[in-house]
Structure 1
Amino acid sequence: MNQKIFTIKKKSFFGILIFSFLLASCGTKLTQVKFGKIATPDVTIKAEDGSFELKSEETWDPPFYALDQYDVLQMHYLEINKDIASQYDYAIEKLSAKKVRIKTPYSEKELYGVILFNKVMEKCKLPVTRSYQITIPEEYVHQAMNGQVSVLYEYYECANFPLKTWVLWMSDVPF
C-alpha cells in the first residue's frame, strides 16, 4: 500500500516538474475564453453571493476567470489527481472557484454547486478553447443526490496535457 502511494506521489511530482518546465521554456500565456452557453435547456446557475446568473437561453460573458499565469501549476494538480470529485475545496481555496445554486429540469430541488472557469493556453487554438459549453446530463443530476458529489467538465489537450476549460461540482447538500 505504501509503495502505491509513493508511486502516485512520485508520478505527480514528475508530471508537475515536466509541465512547469514546458511552461517556462515555451513562455506559455493564458487567454480568456470570450463567451459561454449552457446547452441543456431550462438550466440556471446562480452565484450564491449574487454576483452572476447564467441561463441556458442566453450566450453570456464568463463572470470570472479562476486562473492567471502563475496558477497553472495549481490547476495541473487537479489534472493529475484522479479523484476530481473530491477536489471542490481545493478549487475554492486555491483557484477562486465560486459556490453556486443550480436549477435543472431533472429535479424539483435546486442543487448546490461549485463552478470554475479557467483561462486557456493561448498557443492551443482549438474549438473547445473558444467558448465554454456547459451540458448537464440527467444522470449526473441523479448522481448528485443523497449527499453524493457529481462533477462535470470540459477539457482540451495541449502539449500532451489534458487541461480543463471549466469544472462544475454538484450535490443536493451544501459544499
Structure 2
Amino acid sequence: MADLRILDQKISSYKKSLKMISFDKRNNEYMCNDDENFYCSFDDLVKAEYPLKQPASPDTLMFKNETIYMVEFKNQKPCDIDKKNIHDKLEKGKEVLSELCAQCNIPIDYHKIVFCVIHKNDKSKWRQGIEKKTIQFGLEKYKGHLFDDILTNDIDWFKKQYRDIFKIAC
C-alpha cells in the first residue's frame, strides 16, 4: 500500500484542530471540542489550490492506517440539509483528492476511502433508529463506486466512532 505520509506532509500547512474545522460560523457553534489533534482543513486547501473558483469540498481529510476519511460537518437537522450541496462536495472532493494523490504518486485505489456527513442530532427518536444504519441524502449510489463506504449520522454517533477509531475524544 502506498504511504499516506507523503500526502499528509503535502497538506500539512492546512492543518487545524477538529474543533476549528467543525465550527459553524452561522450559529457560532463548534460541533467537536477536540483542539489537540490536527487534520487537514480541506476547505482551506481547496481555497489555496483553486484561488479563482473553488470546487465544493468536504470540511476535512482524516487518515487512519490506509483509510482516508472525508468528513463534512453540517450543524443542521437532516431534513434541512441541501442534498445537491452534499452530492457536489462528495463528487468534487473526490476529484480534488484524486488530483492530490496523483501529485504525490499515490495510487488512490490502494486506499479505502470513506465519505462521512455528520449532522446535528435529530430529536425525532422514531427516525433515529431507522436512519442510524441508513445512508441518507441519496448518497447510497456512490458506495462501492466512488467511495468504499458512505456514513451519514449525527454528531453523537461521530464522537463515539472518532473515539473508537482514533482513540481520542472529540
Higher relative contact order (CA 8 A, sep 6+): 1
- Specify the TM-score bucket, using the shorter chain as the normaliser: under 0.3
Query: Which of the two has higher C-alpha Rg?
Result: 1
When the two structures are superposed, what TM-score results if normalisation uses the length of structure 1? 0.25
When the two structures are superposed, what TM-score results if normalisation uses the length of structure 2? 0.26
